[in-house]
Chains A and B, each alone.
Chain A
């Protein structure tokens, strides 16, 4: 314990600096940081690490890139994005289709928006298949995740008040929209992480987005299914059973448009992991919402809810508690097709 000769140790030499120079340093720093963020924008917009955002934006781009009308639109959340097998669906039901299903955080309101954007260009489709997990009907309008997903809709400033039903964007939502659009490094830096440090990539690409919007998963992940199920069960305690008013407007929009233009709307719950569905906590959450949805559907003659309860799958057929992998997608789609046929024959639709 000796005092070291001070001369041999590094010191803190304070360099004189004027207030003006300091202000220019700090100002230029923020300008440069801002410029780097913008430069990274295009990369971050398509990076698979941000799959939810990437697939939301990607599905809007699929819609924008459509050259000709299709017979069927598949709308909904990721359970619809990953679970419908195109070949089986089109062979079974007849005609062409496009899959515009996004994610649960991309609220049901975006289904109504996408339908209207489609109809503006091509007129009404023959039919709509709406696949959503039950929980996406109870999501608040602007939870933190939804805010992020909705900020990723590739439409200009104020789009939320130009499409129907209108969504109320508050000050922070608008600020988030600007951040997400121009400074995604602030809102979701995971993609940037992987750009500099590929080893940190935690969620490598799990689905390939084709031009028709169909996403394919082929590798089951039972561990993830179990882990996410546990998390989901905890979350259900926090969720209520209320369906927000904006979602009632969504159903109303589908009902009104289908009545006016004579197309069919078929709704079905996304596939669910069997154990999760049978968990008492899930049952307590599921049935009040399911019954409410069915009641609401009855008021709309062109909307049919295909099943009162979801189709159940085992963990080794799934990638997530509500994402099935091929070939389970084939079975799921076949069942949907046969249910649609039953309804159509009852309604005498050809």
Chain B
């Protein structure tokens, strides 16, 4: 067996390196014949007789060489090698063929790259299961959230215990879901408190050490499992740290385990420790601050679960973690898929046309004895070569394109599911490449067999005059125009949306504004005297236009407060109150942040008012639909009076409803930071300002400086990226589509040249013939345009959420797209049609 494998291996190696050359074989056989002749000479024959006798005894040298060569390599592989060499020569024979091969490879590369990249994203976001054991049985559960009753709200330890004991639950754990210390991407230690059972219920185990256990509860210093990145960065990947107390940053923890690389749940956590147990007192409102996850038993339903006698809302963990707008990538994916199909159609049409153009060459091959199987095999090998080159190029292009798309995507992809080129994406890529290869080969062979090959095999070359083939070509042309028009229309809407989103009014100023926050944006009491001192000293600095206390107008983190238009006297009333974001601000905050006062008055400059609030317009409208909010009394952790209404700030971006906000004087809710308006390019003043704050607010330990203009840009990024992506698809499809329309029109005209020549010979005017050619193509294009516009309009309507401030049926955009498409199609038709005017009728008919 080994002997046979060795021989096979040597044969294959010989095939690649060509092994013993033909020349060596001939030399060896010649030497044999010479030795034979020498023997005859020794027996007394003269030179000539000896050579003749040796030739007769040796037999035909060609047949000996053939047997010898047979052993050299594997015959089929040799045949394949020969076919590949022939196909390579055929694809690169002339400049025109090389150009054509490059175009086909480029189109295929684009199709494969786009297809695989988009699949990787769709798979990662929507299809792939979470990397936990039997992840389909994991649910996030909790009482209905106050902000959105369809989502599970937070729980406390009492609720978690109840869930653990419920029938149909195999296990449950909780994690703190709103921990500021876990959110700051710039901190290496991002710690989450989890309950015991976190690792068991998820079905994950540390790569080193062990998970946290019940014996770790209440331990000092606290026990923690750390993430792989933190282990590498802070502890140099030292495996000896397990079971030891180590210093990480300014903290000391007992390291129980290290999670495997890539484990990222909850997202961006680098340290997991046990939550300190807080027993809920019967007399006070229980603080629910954790998210609960349960693992249901096989066949159990979350419907029967209860906490505090209340039915819970349960959402599959995968669905809960999936970004809210993950489904918004579906239209983008469909558009890409269409683009890929469009590209493949172009390639196959081009290949079929090329096959017909090579009918003469095929006829010669047929005359030399090649059957259609042999001819089909050659086309298959040519197609395979083109596809392999394209697939190789795509392998290099995919990572870059994937990274670009991920950057452009309007979706927060940081949800614990890695998006990468894995085995699934590779398999899809290989499948797409195989389909492309089969389509290329089939297009060529079908084109030859249906239109030409029977004639070719009979030794005749005939132009296709089949009416059905011509009709089919027109249908393909119309369908292409429809697809391109739809994509271009959606792309045009996206580009318009891009421009509008860029100029979107978010309700506050951003240019030149800087927010300086302390202590992870936790509000703290800064006495009025200190505030006045800070403001006065900052204002004295050069380049400072104004200064106020309060957060960035676009601050995403929030401090919530119970809000009610009626007094909250009982626990039930308190629970019924809605949670509203509260911001402690100084009197000049609104002018500094550029937030317009719509009615009422601002806080008094003295800053010592109590029990008054200013509310945002959307809150005022919701609570007081009569429009009379100013002067009314509401409850914000106590009775207060509304003294003013200010414009809404779109904290979450231009297309998300504004947050309802309650502004209170800084002395009421404490302040979390300073907002400074600086002259352009004066950000070097920030260091002076932070020094002043540090001197005046001893509690301000950590300082975070936010450029509000950058923060505003981030809010617009999603819109702009989404629009840019769709616009890019529109532009690419326009280019691809026009190339296809041009090629098909040119091919159609080319095929009709003979008819045109006959008509010219019969006295028709060249202009008339040209006009007819162009109008026949344009009528097909117009039909495609109409279908495409309707489809594009419907598509845009279905994906309306992707656009900012544009209507799916925008008439001006429709007119623009129709004019652009018609102009391009007319150009594509006219240029080849002008060849009619230059036709030499006699030459053409003689050729036929």
Asked whether A and B interact, the reply is: no
